[in-house]
Amino acid sequence: MELREYPRPQGDNGRGIHWFTTQSAGNPVVDTYINECRAMHIKWVVFLNGFDWALTANDYLVDKLIQNDMMPILRVLTHPTGPLPADLPTLVSHYVPKGVRYFQIHNEPNLKGEWPNNDFPPNMMAKFAEWWCDAALKVIDAGGLPGLPGLATAGGEYGLGQGEDLKYFSDALDAIHARLTPAQRTKVYNKLWISLHNYNVWARDPITTPVTPQDSHCFKKFIIYDQVVRQKIGRSLPILGTEGGTRLGIRPDNPYTDTRDENVVADHTARSFAYVMDNAPDYFFCHSPWVLASQLAGNTDPFFEETAWYRANGSRQKVVDVVKAMPSHERVFSWDKPAKVEFTADSTDITQGESTTLRWTTQNVASVTLNGANVPVNGQQAIQPAATTTYTLRAVPSRQGAAVIERTLTITVQAATGPGQPPIINIASELPQYPRGGAPGPYPTRTLSEIQMLILHHTNWETATPEALAAYLVDKLHWPGIGYHFMIMKDGTIYQTNELTTVSYHSYDGNDPLTAPRNWDRQSLGVALVGQFKPGHLPTQAQLESSGKLCAWLLGNLHLTESAIWGRCELMTNPAGNPSPGCVKDAGRWLWIWRDSLLAEIRKYMGPAGPEVTPPSYHYLLFWKHADNWAQEDWAGAQTYIQRFLPTCGFDVEEAKQYTNISIVGGPFGVPESDEQALKDAGRHVERLAGEGFAGTAALLNDMAQKGQRFLHQ
């Protein structure tokens, strides 16, 4: 089944609720709270059935749900985890004709308390797969859709320190895959859905809290679960939130406490429901907070009663009234939306030997091809055509019957005039990198015109290889990938380890690239020679020769001069701990001991004068200056930005015209719009950096500096 083929309720808004903590309730109670659910525009309801195998215990509830366009989700109630009773096919066959399609098998098996004797058996995962697979096949044969059980959030009993429930989920999918025959896999995966317990542990913000494999204990846990599903099964499956949200706890010793503030519960729930209705990915079908009621249906557990939205004493949480007041409309899934396709290149005019990167983003498409080859629906591809080439991107819309969308780009290749490219082995796409390692995201990218520096390093590791270094940085430090763009081995072999357009960590001044006071990552390439260099221990002749050829080729193709060559130590406040690429302190200054040897090699291929063509300088930060005043406040507010990006700063419009990019600081009462237009007419890229008053402009510049974002729009 495709995602669009799984059943959903009429008017589906993705809004769910976990019904009661008991298996059944009297008809008058059901009537009362069905009406309450209608008033809250609830469309998905999770309920329990199966304990002591009272198979018809919820006939009345299911009838009422279907009559009110609410989709029932039946959690087969068994405890402890084990083989399901022989009556399972009877249960499914009874409720499928009534409108129940989703059947959750087991619950929170990553907790020891859900197993016999309150402990995991030695062969737990194999037994779980055996029992779950047997039950799933029976559910399918009886007409239902089997669900993997929801897992306890932050249980800390399985896979501690490895994602906890996420590790159990991944291991369970592996065990199920091993248990099923190929034919059974097709049968099960075609009907499978995932039950999710996405609690906002400790009441963290449901929308803005980052979700990572190391810490997914929040509302958006479904993002990480989907990554695992696609890795293990090859496509997304429906994920149904069957418990979750921010729970209220009144007493300090309540283990279910996320917050003791009803306003927080109401705010988090409303924003989560709005997200599911308007912004959730297609595979996340519903969010069902815990719990509608407990003692009202006969459960005497005081912990459950504290978290309940409706209580036996007649009170109710504020969340009820907030949800009732929320607007509701039917979700629009991607397969019902028009497709959008953007296809760009970092540069459409390159010189022979240069590479550029094609990038494409799409919305609401089923598949994409690039020059006939299947590619991801969103992605990028580095290319190095030898001659002018046209690239064609074809996207098939998700909406049935919509016409195929085609976009083309022509990359014009000019004959090379500078130094030739040395032999380079490009392994950038093969090295360990995001999403492995749990970094918050991949490295950002840039245009080639932003590159103004070549920064030389040594690896400080005599036997380093690109693969070993990348694995260490990704797995241990959780970087998005290796830091260097090139590594040169002792025998002179040149490996390209990042694309030129990748903004990687390598030039920061400090110990942590994310908090470093200064770094030059966005405007530089990192070239590392394998070794630890110091007086008496310098690069091999093969390394120097390859470094000279590589740097000469890069300088020529990037239109840079020798002044663009820097050693990492020359940029650091205190390089004593790691004087890369081989620096010594002399008369209070740090000197790079093999710099002259490298420049001599570069000049063999470029000549001492450097490249013949030097374009206008790169970036000018333009401040206003009037006869009786100048931009003192804007100047003070821009210091962090200036320290981060090192632009040329000034007050002269004519001087600014000599630069490729001009950023005007402040509103038009400072630098007038007429000057801005004159700069644009001169063919320069111009943007204005202005906030609400001086404070707003300073806040904008500081935010851009923190993000490493030199320009707002480029």
The answer on pLDDT for 618 being more than 80 is no
Looking only at the bridges linking them, the beta strands covering 145-148 and 193-199 are: parallel
Lowest mean pLDDT among 446-450, 585-589, 684-688: 585-589
One-letter amino acid at 373 equals: A
**pLDDT value for 361:** 95
**pLDDT value for 418:** 62
143 vs 253, residue with greater confidence: 143
- Check: CB of residue 466 under 8 Å from CB of residue 497: yes
Please give the C-alpha separations between residue 45 and each of 9, 17, 48, 219, in angstroms, as whole numbers: 11, 5, 10, 18
How confident is the model over 361-407, as pLDDT tens digits? 999 998 999 999 999 999 999 898 989 999 999 999 988 889 999 99
What is the domain partition of the chain in residue ranges?
Answer: 3-328, 335-414, 425-606, 617-707
Give me the mean pLDDT over the 675-698 stretch: 91
CA distance 271 to 307: 19
CA distance 624 to 656: 12
The answer on pLDDT for 682 being more than 90 is no
The answer on pLDDT for 162 being more than 60 is no
How confident is the model over 207-241, as pLDDT tens digits? 999 998 888 889 999 999 999 999 999 999 999 99
One-letter amino acid at 176 equals: I
Q: For residue 420, give both structure tokens.
A: 């030739």
- Residue 139's nearest CA partner among 176, 188, 81 is 188
Looking only at the bridges linking them, the beta strands covering 494-496 and 486-488 are: antiparallel
Give me the mean pLDDT over the 182-205 stretch: 95
Mention the CATH class of domain 425-606.
alpha beta
Q: What is the mean pLDDT of the chain?
A: 91
Say what percent of the chain tops pLDDT 90: 73
One-letter amino acid at 19 equals: W
How confident is the model over 626-674, as pLDDT tens digits? 888 899 999 999 998 888 788 889 999 998 988 888 999 999 989 999 9
Helix, strand or coil, per DSSP, at residue 472: helix
- Burial string for 373-402 (b: 16+ CB within 10 Å, else e) reads eebebeebbbbebeeeeebebbbbbbbeeb
Looking at the domain 335-414, which fold is it?
Immunoglobulin-like (2.60.40)
CA distance 87 to 539: 75
Omega before residue 444 within 30° of 0, cis: no
Q: Per DSSP, what are the bridge partners of residue 525?
A: 454
Give the CATH number of domain 617-707; options: 3.90.1150.200, 3.40.50.920, 3.40.920.10, 1.10.10.60. Answer: 3.40.50.920
One-letter amino acid at 309 equals: W
The answer on pLDDT for 130 being more than 50 is yes
CA distance 241 to 496: 44
CA distance 145 to 5: 12
Q: How far is residue 536 CA from its own chain's centroid?
A: 46
How confident is the model over 246-267, as pLDDT tens digits? 999 987 777 677 999 999 999 9
As its CATH architecture, domain 3-328 has Alpha-Beta Barrel (3.20)
